[in-house]
Amino acid sequence: MRTLLRGRGLELESRSLRIAASVDMEIVETDISSSSSSSSGGKESVLLRIGDVETIVVPPVDPALVPYTLFFEIPQHKLVLRDMLRDVLTGKI
């Protein structure tokens, strides 16, 4: 498959190169100050940035329905999370 794509002038970035590039990728949460926090139960919205993709995350209506997960910053996981966030934002899911 790679040979066929290369023959057509298309070069795919290898998985190992993508993972190596994601080592320095940051996952950043920034609180967004808003004057009308009554609709979110007094909680502030958060700006979430994973690499070059960012979105606003609003607090859930019922926090009990959101599971708590322990996250380890593994480059491959950060890459998958960034790709999943990009897909959600572009409506591909």
According to the model, what pLDDT value does residue 72 have?
87
Side-chain half-sphere exposure of 90, counting CA atoms within 13 A: 8
Q: What proportion of the chain, given as a percentage, has pLDDT over 90? A: 22
Summarised one tens digit per residue, pLDDT across range 55-75 is: 998 888 898 998 988 888 888
The yes-or-no verdict on residue 90 having pLDDT over 80 is yes
Residue 8's identity, in one-letter code, is: R
The yes-or-no verdict on residue 49 having pLDDT over 90 is yes
According to the model, what pLDDT value does residue 43 have?
67
According to the model, what pLDDT value does residue 86 have?
93
**Mean pLDDT across 36-50:** 69
**Alpha-carbon distance 49 to 82, whole Å?**
9
